[in-house]
Amino acid sequence: MSQGYRVEDPATGTVVEQFDTIADAQLDTVLATAAEAQTAWAAKSIEERAEVIRRVADLFAERKDNLAAIIGQEMGKRVTEGVEEAEFAGDIFRYYADNAARFAADQPIETDGGDAMLQRLPVGVLLGIMPWNFPYYQVARFAAPNLMLGNGIVLKHAEICPRSAAAIQDILVSAGVPEGLYTTVYADHEQIAAAIADPRIAGVSLTGSERAGAQVAAQAGRHLKKAVLELGGSDPYVVLDTDDVAEAAQTAWATRMYNTGQACNSNKRLIVMDDIYDDFVAELTRLAQGMTPGAWADEDESVYQPLSSRPAAEKLVEQLKRARDAGAVLQTGGELAADGAYVSPAVLTDVPVGSEIYYEELFGPVATVFRVSSDDEALRLANDSQFGLGGAVFSTDEARAKRVASGLEVGMANVNTPAGEGAELPFGGVKRSGYGRELGPVGMDEFVNKRLYYVEG
């Protein structure tokens, strides 16, 4: 059951501050104001909009330390990771400020008998429903391209992220974003359903769970609204060969532990060739056993932070129990602390392929490892998933890695790197990982009226 908007220390479970949910009448005012503000914003030139959005980027950079502290308190993110996230959010706003005019430029169409042009125009006010695991980055990749395009935004953040949601709001207001154009609402599920149904909302973007995505997609479809969904992932991370097994395992482990394993595109299934498998698992186990719990402000790499909440930790431990019941082997870790949301980092092997738990996403500090004996087997296993967000393939033979990576059924395939990252690189998946894309040139191509403008010759 929802506990409402609050700051809850994940290390202890103590509720530090609570926030009131918006009243229905206030929400109606927000929607009316947003519609009016969006019309005025869309009338501005894209260059005028860019001046404001560049100031947004500057403020993310200037306030990064404070922003990191806020999300450390809210969801337990390590300080350096919080600073990196705030910087990345600023980079995204700057990327669209610098490139939106080119992305949204009129596109001539060759035709007989007249002049044809494809125009990219805003569609109106959008509803964004954002998650807690990357409180700034997730908002930036939705808000930046759409504000530059001329759309308005009503933003519902995760219930455990009210302070970071308010911090983003303050940055945009301080940068000169017009009143009402971007508004944070502490709304409940019924109010969000009402907003999706409201004709003043033109589309909805959600990053979250499969369950939430299915509900929002159904509501949007019922009211003929476009939706963009970025949902879960169980990304394959294929290690075909390596000159240094320990180093390869250390890279995989560092990737898996980033944000305490709470990333949609984290390497949740490590698929390792049998000749290096035993040493690889042994190194992972050593690394896991060398970690100790600590606070979000602790920068020691051998310290792990809590998960976002006690319920999230309890769910992960319950999944590990079901994995063991199905025949998997828990090499180490997976222990729930007496208090708070700490789960000791775990290494899980021998999960039966095809079992119920095999197809679930493990959202936390768990490295699940599979043994394979050929490239074809590695690819079959990688694609045996209901998700299709990202994937990575590693080999000292780049051509070999490319062959396997080219067969991955994902939205983002990577060779010899855990993930390609940058404001210019599109993000999104296939299968049950959702649909639509954010970031890069295609990030401005979702909530847009691709209007044909035709003049008879």
Q: Write out the catalytic residue numbers.
A: 230, 264
Residue 273's beta-bridge partner residues? 372
When computed from its CA atoms, the radius of gyration of the chain, rounded to whole angstroms, is 23
Give the angle subtended at the CA of 130 by the CAs of 128 and 133, to the nearest 5°: 165
**Rounded to an integer, what distance in angstroms lies between the CA atom of residue 326 and that of residue 333?**
18
- Other beta carbons within 10 Å of 117: 14
Q: What does the alpha-carbon distance between residue 272 and residue 242 come to, in Å, rounded to a whole number?
A: 10
Q: Which tokens is 49 given?
A: 């909009």
Residue 271, C-beta contacts closer than 8 angstroms, at least 6 positions apart: 236, 237, 238, 239, 369, 370, 372, 378, 381, 382
Q: To which residue do tokens 């939706």 refer?
A: 227
How far is Cα 440 from Cα 423, in angstroms, rounded to an integer? 6
* Closest to 263 in 3D by CA, of 433, 133, 419, 92: 133
Cβ atoms 183, 206 nearer than 8 A: no
Q: How many CB atoms lie within 10 A of CB 279?
A: 15
Rounded to whole angstroms, the Cα distance separating 269 from 230 reads 19
Q: How far apart are CA 330 and CA 323, in angstroms?
A: 9
Angstrom distance (rounded) from CA 227 to CA 201: 11
